[in-house]
Amino acid sequence: MQTIIQRRHAWWLVWLLMASGAVVAAPPPVRSVEDVHQLLQKKELSAEEAAAIGEYLQKRYRKENLSLGTHRHLLQRLAEGGGIVVWALKAPADADVSVVAEKGRRWPMRRLGRDGLWVASEKFPNFSSVHYRFDVNGKRLGGGRNNRFGFESYTFGPDSLPQPGVPRGKLVDMGTHTSKRYYPGAQRHWWIYVPAQYSPDKANETRLLVVQDGEGYIRGDGNVCTVLDNLIHKGKVPLTIAVFVNPGHFPPSSPKRKPRSNRSNEYDTCTPRYATFLAEEILPLVQQKYPYSKDPWDHAIMGASSGGSCAFTAAWHRNDLFRRVISFVGSFCDFRPLDAYPRYGKEYVMSGDDFGPWKTAHDYPALIRKTEPRRELKVFLQDGENDLDNRLGNWFLNNQRMAAALAYAGYDYRFVAGKGMHSKRHGMAILPEILKWIWQGP
């Protein structure tokens, strides 16, 4: 009875306001992350506004458990770069709830109603990155791969875009290659880019560029084929054939299973095996179809992340094959499992000889400094200060270590540091300048 009286009183109040000419605002529609952010800028939310935000979050997250803190944030990118992020969490109504991140950043969360739903938002500029966790009454909830985001927007110059009047090379789909010796049974797709100006009689002047994770470099604005079209046409780089090679995978053992990736085994294992696989199983097929120079100074190898450190590994261990390296956000980190480290005690001691084979890309700075005479190498490194920082290492710091070691040992190198994250976007945006530089010199 009391509830019915309260409802009648509310309707009477609304009628009275309308009769007096006052405008009763309808609850605002919430259809986007930006709508949520705009409402959260207000010091106080009406019950209708809080309900509208709650309804929007419920639709976005559906049946996802928001109390664990491992769910993905909501993100809306902005045309000018950067974007808006909304966080939501289920926590006790009387708790102290925040989003906390590296560099001492903290965003207090606001409670929506009495159902334990908390929310916060922030607008971030371009070239910003956040690795966050939720904090409830001083206790950090477990984070994961979803608890990281960032923004990086780059402009592609004319040499990275298709230009009128520029002859276009052809991209030859080489289908699937099945490894016979070095990774028996591993299958991979691969392609060959052939410049429009190429002919077999120009083999001795034709350079070679091998690209790891190849499929990610052959499409869209800024792709390697378009850049080579423009630069070769202008005479800014030599005639170059490019070979794009995907990492291998093993077919599933049954229809219900997924293929097993061989990428880490190929890229993160710091031995000559992958480069020798290229030399004996892939490149002879290229040489038969499109002959190119056999001088190792005419061969460059390129990749990003583990593909970048793999490129350095190939040139370091098979210096007779590759002499020029391009690495974007290279994974020069420690991929060893914990039990690969020496343990000292009464029960077990791992000897130095046993430890030796476990060298990873994290060890290259020391090897570069101590190896005499120097390898025949020219190296380009790119990384951003917002690259990964996790249990395997700090990517940006380790790229700085690589650059310092190359400088100390007197190598011809260049290191471009930016504000980006763990992606090849920055590197691809400056690829025309990189290719001009990498082909200079002997």
* Alpha carbon distances (Å) from 300 to 226, 252, 306, 326, 343: 18, 33, 17, 8, 40
8 Å CB contact between 439 and 325: no
**SS3 at position 201:** helix
The Cα 119–Cα 114 span in angstroms is 13
The Cα 222–Cα 242 span in angstroms is 15
8 Å CB contact between 112 and 50: yes
Q: What are phi and psi of 302, to 5 degrees?
A: -145, 150
Q: Where are the domains of the chain?
A: 26-151, 158-438
Superfamily of domain 158-438: Alpha/Beta hydrolase fold, catalytic domain (3.40.50.1820)
The Cα 205–Cα 193 span in angstroms is 16
8 Å CB contact between 168 and 258: no
Radius of gyration of the chain (CA): 28
Q: Is the peptide bond before 373 cis (omega within 30 degrees of 0)?
A: yes
Residue from 79, 305, 285, 55 nearest 191 by CA:
285
- What's the predicted TM-score (pTM) here? 0.85
The CATH code of domain 26-151 reads: 2.60.40.10
> What is the pLDDT tens value at each position of the chain, 442 positions in all?
444 444 444 444 444 444 555 555 566 689 999 999 999 999 999 999 999 999 999 999 998 999 999 999 999 999 989 999 999 999 999 999 999 998 899 999 999 976 799 999 999 999 999 999 999 999 999 877 789 999 999 999 999 999 999 999 999 999 999 999 999 999 999 999 999 999 999 999 999 999 999 999 999 989 999 999 999 999 999 999 999 999 999 999 888 889 999 999 999 989 999 999 999 999 999 999 999 999 999 999 999 999 999 999 999 999 999 999 999 999 999 988 877 776 666 665 555 555 455 578 999 999 999 999 999 999 999 999 999 988 899 999 999 999 999 999 999 999 999 999 999 999 999 999 999 999 998 7
Provide the CA 148 distance to its chain's centre, in angstroms. Answer: 12
Domains 26-151 and 158-438 share a fold: no
